Structure 1
C-alpha cells in the first residue's frame, strides 16, 4: 500500500528536540568532542599526578563534667556541646588564635589559608571534639595541631568562661599522607571534558544553517509544505518503486 506523500499525517511536527537527533549529532561530531575533551582530560591527569602529599594531625579534646575550677557543665550539656561545634570551630579559627600560632612557627600562609586547614568536629554522642590540621610537613602538622589545641582552650576559657576543656590525646606525627583521590579526579576530568565537548557541538549545531528537514524549509519560507517529490527508481522488472 502506497503512502500518500501529501497527507498531513505523513509529516510530523518536528519543532521539539528529538533525542535521536541529539544522539546522532553527537556520533556525527565525535571527533570534535574528543578534540575538545582531550585538553581538559590532560589537565585533570596533570593535576592529579602533581598533587603534593598532605598530612593530617589530630588531637582530641574533652569538655568534662567534673566539678573543678570555674563553671561546670550539667547533664544536659552533652547535647549542647554537640550544637556548639560551629562556635568551637570559629573560635579555633579566630584571628587571635591563628595569629599566635603563625607567629610561633613562622608560618608562610595567611590567616585565610590557615583557616582552611583547620577542622573541628564532634565525636557523636560524646563530649569529645576533634581538632585537625593539614600540612605538607608531617612534623609541622603535629606541632601546629598541638599548639592550636592549647590556644583554643585558652580562648574558649576567655570567651565562654568554660574552664574544664582538656586534651585527651595529643597530636602525633602522621605517618601516611591523606588519599590523593587521583582516580576520582581523572574520572571527573573525563566527564567534564565530555560535557564541554558536547556543549561545543550543540552550540555549533545551533549555528548550523544548512537545511536538513522539511520543517526547516517551512520555518524559512513561512508556509506549509504541501507535498514531497519522491525519488523514482526503476527495478529489474521495469516497474516503478517510490522511495521518499
Structure 2
C-alpha cells in the first residue's frame, strides 16, 4: 500500500511573515552595516589616482607599413615588463625620495598597456591629487630613461604628463553606502529566517496545522484585562 504525502505549499505570505515579525532585526543589521562603512569613511584616508601616458615610437623614422607598425605594437608588452621591473622600481624610489617600501610601491604604482595604440599608462595612487600627478609624471620620466638604457635606444616617449584627478578612487562613499545597505538588509533577512527556524513556539492556528498536522477545532481569544 503506497501512501502519498503531499508536500506543504509555501506561499508568499509565509516567506514575508518572518521578515515582518522580525523587522527590527533586519533594520538593526542593516544599520550596523551602514555604521561600519561610515566609520571606515571617517578613518580611511582618501586615495587619488593619476596617470601619465607613454608611447612606443620608431626612433627618428616614420612608420610606413603595417609590418613595422605591428613590430612596435609587439614591443609594448616588453616595455611593460621593463617598467614593472625591480630595477625601475628602485630607481624611482631613490630619485624621487618617496620612502615607500617595495610592497607599498607595488600597491601604489601600476603599469597598464594598450598594444593597439602602442601606449602604456603609469598609474599612481597618493593621498592628494597633486602628489599623485607629481609622482606619476616623475616616475614616467624616470622610466623612459631607464628603458632607453636597457633597450639601447629611445623608443619610449612621455606622451601625456599626469593631471591632478578631481575625485578620489577610494573610498567611494555613495557606492559603499549603497552596497552596505543592500548587504545589511540581505544579511538581516537571513538572520530573521534563521531565528524563525530556531523558534519552535506556536503563534497561530496555521502554525498548529503546519507543524503538528492536526486540524484546529477552536481558538481561545486573548483578552487583555
Fold conserved between structures, TM > 0.5: yes
Equivalent residue for 2:86?
95
2:133 to 142, 163, 177: 142
Q: Give the secondary structure class of the aligned counterpart of 2:58.
A: coil
**1:198 aligned residue:** 189
CA contact 1:13–1:215 (8 Å) conserved in 2: no
Is the CA contact (8 Å cut-off) linking 1:58 and 1:145 kept in structure 2? yes
Secondary structure of the equivalent of 2:68?
coil
* Partner residue in 2 for 1:221: none
Partner of 2:69: 75
Distance (Å, rounded) in 2 between the aligned partners of 1:198 and 1:64? 58
Q: 1:208 to 1:108 in 2, by over 3 A?
A: farther
Structure-2 change in CA distance of 1:213 and 1:65 (3 Å): farther
Equivalents in 2 of 1:134, 1:163: separation in Å? 27
Alignment partner, residue 171 of structure 1: 162
Q: Is the 8 A contact 1:45 1:185 kept in 2?
A: no
Q: Which residue of 2 aligns with 1:228?
A: 215
Report which stretch shifted further, 126-135 or 44-53.
44-53
Unpaired segments ≥5 residues, structure 2: 62-66, 221-225
The residue that corresponds to 2:223 in the other structure is none
TM-aligned CA deviation for residue 188 of structure 1: 1.1
Distance in 2 between the 1:74 and 1:37 partners?
Answer: 59
| CA 1:191–1:154: 2 relative to 1, 3 Å | same
Tell me by how many angstroms 1:62 deviates. 1.1
Higher Rg: 1
Q: Per the alignment, do residues 177 and 50 of structure 1 end up closer, same or farther by CA in structure 2, a change over 3 Å counting?
A: farther
Q: Determine which of 15, 18, 28 is the counterpart of 1:25.
A: 18
d(CA) in 2 for partners of 1:90 and 1:128? 13
State TM-score, norm by structure 2: 0.72
Shift of residue 135, structure 1, vs aligned partner = 0.8
Contact 2:84 2:111 in 1 (8 A): no
Count of aligned pairs: 208
Query: Is the deviation greater in 198-207 or in 122-131?
Result: 122-131
Distance 1:54 1:66, change over 3 A: same
User: Residue by residue, what CA displacement relative to the aligned partner does 1:90-135 show, whole Å, maximum 9, x if unpaired?
Assistant: 5433332222222333334322222222233345842222212121
* Counterpart position of 2:64: none
Q: Which runs of 5+ in 1 are unaligned?
A: 1-7, 218-224, 234-244
Cα distance in structure 2, aligned partners of 1:152 and 1:142? 15
Task: Find the aligned partners of 2:199 and 2:81 in 1 and give their Cα distance.
Answer: 54
Alignment of 1:1-244 (within 5 A): 13-14=7-8, 18-66=11-59, 74-77=68-71, 79-80=73-74, 84=77, 88-122=79-113, 125-157=116-148, 163-172=154-163, 174=164, 176-178=166-168, 181-211=172-202, 212-217=207-212, 225=213, 228-231=215-218
Compute the displacement of 1:158 (Å).
Answer: 6.0
